[in-house]
Structure formats: C-alpha cells, structure tokens
Amino acid sequence: MATLNTWRLALDIKQWVVTAAEAVKLHLHDDLKVNTKSGRNDLVTNIDKTTEQYLVQKIRAQYPEAKIVGEEGFGDQVEDLTGLVFFVDPIDGTMNFVKARENFAIMIGAYLDGKGIVGVILDVMKDELFWGGPEFGVYKNNLPLPKPKNITLSEGLLGMSGPLLVHDVKHVAAAVTASSGARIFGSAGIEFTKVIQGFENGYVSKLMPWDFAAGKVMAETLGLKVTDIDGEPLSMLSSKIVLIGTERTHAQILALQ
C-alpha cells in the first residue's frame, strides 16, 4: 500500500457514492422493505442492503487487498486496522429515509493503518457532497470549507442524539442548556456536515465506527476534536458515545463529565 494514491482514492469514493445515490433516488418512492435490527427504532431496508452491496463490489474490484467494515454485513470480519480499511454506511439515517425521504447520507471513510485518509459524506437529497482528508482539506461539492471558528458551547447549536437527551446520559442536558440550543437531525452523517460547516459547535451521540469514520477524517482535518465522551480516543472497531466539537466546546463538555 506504499504506492496508494489518495487523490485517486478520493475520486473513486466520490464516484461510487454519487452513483449509489442516483440509484437510491430512482427508487425513492418505491415501497420499501423495512426490517428492524437491534430494536424497533433500528431499521434496515432493501435499499440499505443493495446500496452496501454496490459499494462493497466497487471497493473489492478497485482495491482487492482492502478490508471492509460495512453496516449491513456485506463487508469483512475486521479485527485489526492494518492496511487499507473502508468503513461503509450505505444509508445513514435510515429512520429519516423511511419516514421522510430526507436527511440521510451515504458515507465512506478510508483508513490506512488506522489513520483516516479520506472521508466522504453525501447528503443525498440536498446533493451536497462533503469530502476531504489531511492531504486535501475538506470540500463541500467543489468549494473548500474553512476551518470552523473555535466557538464556545454557549455560542453555538449542539447536535444531539434523541435517546441521550431524553435519558440525560453523560450530562448532555446541562450541555444543551449551556448552548444556544439542541438540534436533532437523526443522522450522524448529517450532524457531521453541520459541525464541519460551523452550523453546530458540537455533536454527541452513541455511534458505531461506520457512523463516524468518514466524519472523523473531515472534522479532524478542520481542527475539530473527535473523541469519546470521556476524552479518550475512539476505537475504529467498537461503539462509543462520541463527542465532536470545536476545541473549546469539546473541552467544556468534557468538563461536565
């Protein structure tokens, strides 16, 4: 993998994601086959599955040595992060997709020996493609995104997970009260796009690696902090309560723990 061209990799991922989105949009008003996974509000549809199958097939064809962590199980059983690893979330915000056909994202994060190199999040219905990495900076479609201002908790909107706020896990209610207000969009990918644009100063949610892999690459490239809620580094192989924020907001929310 010493010869990996990350610019080519970024272009490949963008093409796959945009092509996958075109297929999703073609079937947008079909009847969905909806099933539950871990609970009644953890959904998967036939579209999640076919989208992941498509993305996995493209990755395997172009990068046959890579490993794939996919939400819907069409990837590999990945137990270590050596080499090139793709994290695939075919439809992030499946509940929004099912109920509202908006505010869902297709996401791929590519990591080399555990280090994020490319992140891509497509807000499908807004046609907004967020992509980037430490070598390129971060872009919204074709325009570079500036680094968000290092605002404090009180100066911005705080993206939240509904369940964490309802049960006030990890003092998130106090964080919301100190902020300019909570927002709940119901998709980690969509929330990452808000934070990297500076629309929110932070976001807290319990996430799986495919939920945060792409966003983490872009957020860190823009100088944002991404850790677990206790300030520890995230594992790319397990679920954590994730805290993303400007440096100041991140520190203020950590201080509540």
**C-beta closer to a second copy: residue 119 or 156:** 156
Give the residue from 105, 78, 89, 131 showing the smallest Cα distance to 238: 78
Which pair of tokens denotes residue 7? 């610019």
Please give the distance of CA 129 from its chain centroid, rounded to a whole number.
Answer: 12
- Interface residue with a second copy, options 58, 194, 216, 240 (CB under 8 A): 194
The first and second tokens of residue 190, run together, are 């969509």
Q: What is the DSSP letter of 155?
A: G
Comparison of 96 and 221: residue with beta carbon closer to a second copy: 96
Q: How far is the CB of 222 from a second copy (least distance, A)?
A: 16
Can residue 215 be called a binding residue for a second copy (CB under 8 A)?
A: no
> Does 150 interact with a second copy (rule: CB under 8 A)?
no
CB of residue 181 to a second copy, shortest distance in Å: 5
* Number of residues in contact with a second copy under rule CB under 8 A: 30
Residue 30's CB is within 10 A of a number of other CB atoms, namely 10
Q: Does 96 bind a second copy (CB under 8 A)?
A: yes
Binding residue (CB under 8 A) for a second copy from 166, 230, 247, 257: 166
Interface residue with a second copy among 15, 41, 57, 82 (CB under 8 A) is: 41
Using CB atoms within 10 Å of the CB of residue 172, give its burial: 0 to 12 exposed, 13 to 18 middle, 19+ buried.
buried
Asked whether 103 and 121 are in contact (CB, 8 A), the reply is no
* 22's tokens: 């075109």
Contact (CB, 8 A) for 67 and 83: yes
- Nearest to a second copy of 12, 89 (CB atom): 89
Instruction: Spell 60-85 as b/e; 16+ CB within 10 A means b.
Output: beebeebbbbbbbebbeebeebeebb
Q: Which of 19, 154, 235, 239 binds a second copy (CB under 8 A)?
A: 154
Question: Is 156 an interacting residue with respect to a second copy (CB under 8 A)?
Answer: yes
Out of 88, 106, 117, 160, the only residue in the binding site for a second copy (CB under 8 A) is 160
Residue 102 touches a second copy, criterion: CB under 8 A: yes
Interface ranges with a second copy (CB under 8 A): 40-41, 95-96, 99-102, 154, 156-157, 160, 162-163, 165-166, 173, 176-177, 180-186, 194, 197, 199-200
